[in-house]
Amino acid sequence: MKQKFHGQSIFPWSIRTQLLTLVLAAVLPAMMIILHNGMQLRDDKIAEAQEKSLYLARSLATQQEHIAKSTKQILQALAQIPQIRNLEAKACDALFHDLVAQNPTYVFIGIADIRGRVFASSHSVRPSSIADRKHFQEAVRSRDYSVGEYVITRTANTPSLNFGYPVMDHDGNVIAVLVAALNLDVYRLFLADHNYVADYVVGITDHRGIRLFRFPDTDSKVTGIGVKVSETSYAHLSGTAEEGVYEGKGSDGNYRIYAFRKLRLHPRAPVYGHIFVGVSKDAVLAAANQELIQSLMLLGLALVLALAAAWSLGNVSFINKLKKLADSAQRLAQGEPHVKTGVPYGRDELGNLAESFDNMSTSLQRKEDERKQAAAAFVEEATKRNILFEQSPDGILIIDPSTTKFLEFNTAAHRQLGYSREEFARMSISDVEAMESPSEIENRIRSVIQRGRVDFDTRQRTRQGEIRDIHVTAQIIDIMGRSVYHCIWRDITDRRRAEAEHRALEERLQRAERMEALGLLAGGVAHDLNNVIGILIGYSELLLDEVDSASPLRPHAEYIKVGGERAAAIIQDLLTLARRGVQTRDVVNLNSVIEDLHDSPELQKLCSFHPHVKVETVCAPDLLNVKGSPVHLRKTVMNLVSNAAEAMPRGGIVSIQTTNRYLDRPVPGYDEIHEGDFVVLSVSDTGEGISADDMKRMFEPFYTKKIMGRSGTGLGLAVVWGTVKDHDGYINVQSVEGKGTTFTLYFPVTREEAPDERQSIPVSEYMGRGESILVVDDVQGQRELAGRMLTKLNYRVTMAGSGEAAVAHLEKNGVDLIVLDMIMDPGMDGLDTYRKILEVRPEQKAIIVSGFSESDRVRQAQAMGAGAYIRKPYHSENLGLAVRKALDHPAFETKNV
Residues 610 and 679 in one domain: yes
Select the more confidently predicted residue: 477 or 386.
477
Contact of 190 with 177, CB cutoff 8 Å: no
Q: Look at 44-48, 150-154, 179-183, 650-654 and tell me which has the smallest mean pLDDT.
A: 150-154
| Beta-ladder partners of 117 | 129
Q: Is the pLDDT of residue 709 over 80?
A: no
Residues 699 and 787 in one domain: no
Q: Look at 670-674, 766-770, 817-821, 890-894 and tell me which has the smallest mean pLDDT.
A: 890-894
Select the more confidently predicted residue: 262 or 345.
262
Asked if the structure places residue 537 within a domain, the reply is no
Pure H helices in 147-224? 186-192
Select the more confidently predicted residue: 575 or 165.
165
Q: Look at 9-18, 68-77, 125-134, 768-777 and tell me which has the smallest mean pLDDT.
A: 9-18
Asked if the structure places residue 710 within a domain, the reply is yes
> What does 9-31 look like in DSSP terms, one character per residue?
ES--S-HHHHHHHHHHHHHHHHH
pTM above 0.85, yes or no: no
Q: Is 156 exposed, middle or buried (0-12, 13-18, 19+ CB in 10 A)?
A: middle
Residues 741 and 822 in one domain: no
pLDDT tens digits, 79-90 = 899 999 888 989
**Mean pLDDT across the stretch 701-723?**
59
Residues 850 and 744 in one domain: no
From residue 7, alpha-carbon distances to 3, 4, 11, 12 in Å are 10, 6, 12, 11
687: containing domain: 582-750
Q: Is the pLDDT of residue 782 over 90?
A: no
pLDDT, residue 577, reads 55
Q: Is the pLDDT of residue 461 over 50?
A: yes
**Mean pLDDT across the stretch 358-368?**
71
**Mean pLDDT across the stretch 194-202?**
69
**Mean pLDDT across the stretch 57-72?**
86
Residues 534-548: b if buried by 16+ CB within 10 A, e if exposed: bbbbbbbbbbeeebe
Q: How far apart are CA 281 and CA 246, in angstroms?
A: 11
**Mean pLDDT across the stretch 92-99?**
90
Q: DSSP letter for 763, please.
A: G
If we measure between CA atoms, which residue out of 815, 804, 797 comes closest to residue 778? Answer: 804
pLDDT tens digits, 252-299 = 778 888 889 988 888 888 888 888 888 888 878 777 788 788 878 887
User: pLDDT grade, residue 600 (50/70/90)?
Assistant: confident
| Beta-ladder partners of 626 | 588, 749
- Other Cβ atoms less than 10 A from the Cβ of 200: the count is 22
- Other Cβ atoms less than 10 A from the Cβ of 396: the count is 19
Residues 804 and 714 in one domain: no
* N residues, the chain: 897
Pairing of strands 613-619, 652-663: parallel
Supply the CATH number for residue 405's domain. 3.30.450.20
User: pLDDT grade, residue 616 (50/70/90)?
Assistant: very high
pLDDT, residue 3, reads 46
> What does 477-529 look like in DSSP terms, one character per residue?
EEETTEEEEEEEEEE-HHHHHHHHHHHHHHHHHHHHHHHHHHHHHHHHHHHHH
User: pLDDT grade, residue 895 (50/70/90)?
Assistant: very low
End residue of a domain, out of 710, 728, 750: 750
Select the more confidently predicted residue: 762 or 574.
762
pLDDT, residue 251, reads 75
pLDDT, residue 185, reads 75
What is the dihedral angle through the alpha carbons of 74, 79, 83, 87, rounded to the nearest 10 degrees?
A: 120
From residue 207, alpha-carbon distances to 135, 493, 686 in Å are 12, 79, 85
Asked if the structure places residue 160 within a domain, the reply is yes
- Residue type at 90? K
Residues 129 and 241 in one domain: yes
Highest mean pLDDT among 359-368, 574-583, 711-720: 359-368
> Whole-number mean pLDDT of the chain?
81
Q: How far apart are CA 603 and CA 612, in angstroms?
A: 14
End residue of a domain, out of 695, 721, 750: 750
Asked if the structure places residue 370 within a domain, the reply is no
pLDDT, residue 163, reads 92
pLDDT tens digits, 508-517 = 666 656 666 6
Select the more confidently predicted residue: 166 or 569.
166
Asked if the structure places residue 531 within a domain, the reply is no
- Residue type at 591? N
- Other Cβ atoms less than 10 A from the Cβ of 818: the count is 27
**Mean pLDDT across the stretch 781-789?**
88
Q: How far apart are CA 854 and CA 548, in angstroms?
A: 37
User: pLDDT grade, residue 580 (50/70/90)?
Assistant: very low
pLDDT, residue 767, reads 92
Q: How far apart are CA 594 and CA 615, in angstroms?
A: 11
Asked if the structure places residue 548 within a domain, the reply is no
Residues 796 and 838 in one domain: yes
Q: Is the pLDDT of residue 784 over 60?
A: yes
Q: Is the pLDDT of residue 892 over 60?
A: no
Pairing of strands 159-168, 406-409: unpaired
Supply the CATH number for residue 831's domain. 3.40.50.2300
Asked if the structure places residue 137 within a domain, the reply is yes
HSE of 274 in the Cβ direction (CA atoms, 13 Å)? Answer: 27
Q: How far apart are CA 778 and CA 798, in angstroms?
A: 14
**Mean pLDDT across the stretch 757-765?**
74
Pairing of strands 151-152, 652-663: unpaired
Residues 739 and 783 in one domain: no
Asked if the structure places residue 327 within a domain, the reply is no
Q: How many helices (H) and strands (E) does the chain have?
A: 25, 30
**Mean pLDDT across the stretch 174-196?**
78
Q: Is the pLDDT of residue 894 over 50?
A: no
User: pLDDT grade, residue 348 (50/70/90)?
Assistant: low
pLDDT tens digits, 215-256 = 777 666 666 677 888 888 888 888 888 898 988 887 777 888
Residues 744 and 834 in one domain: no
> What does 43-65 look like in DSSP terms, one character per residue?
HHHHHHHHHHHHHHHHHHHHHHH
pLDDT, residue 4, reads 45
Q: Number of folded domains in the chain?
A: 4
What is the dihedral angle through the alpha carbons of 688, 692, 696, 701, rounded to the nearest 10 degrees?
A: -30
Residues 470 and 613 in one domain: no
Q: Is the pLDDT of residue 174 over 60?
A: yes
Residues 731 and 792 in one domain: no
- Residue type at 535? I
pLDDT, residue 708, reads 41
Contact of 307 with 27, CB cutoff 8 Å: no
Q: To the nearest whole percent, how much of the chain has pLDDT over 70?
A: 80
If we measure between CA atoms, which residue out of 603, 575, 598, 632 comes closest to residue 747? Answer: 632
User: pLDDT grade, residue 775 (50/70/90)?
Assistant: very high
User: pLDDT grade, residue 808 (50/70/90)?
Assistant: very high
Residues 61 and 169 in one domain: yes
End residue of a domain, out of 261, 283, 299: 299
Give the neighbor-by-neighbor strand order of the sheet with 869-871.
796-800, 772-776, 817-821, 846-850, 869-871
Select the more confidently predicted residue: 336 or 795.
795
HSE of 459 in the Cβ direction (CA atoms, 13 Å)? Answer: 9
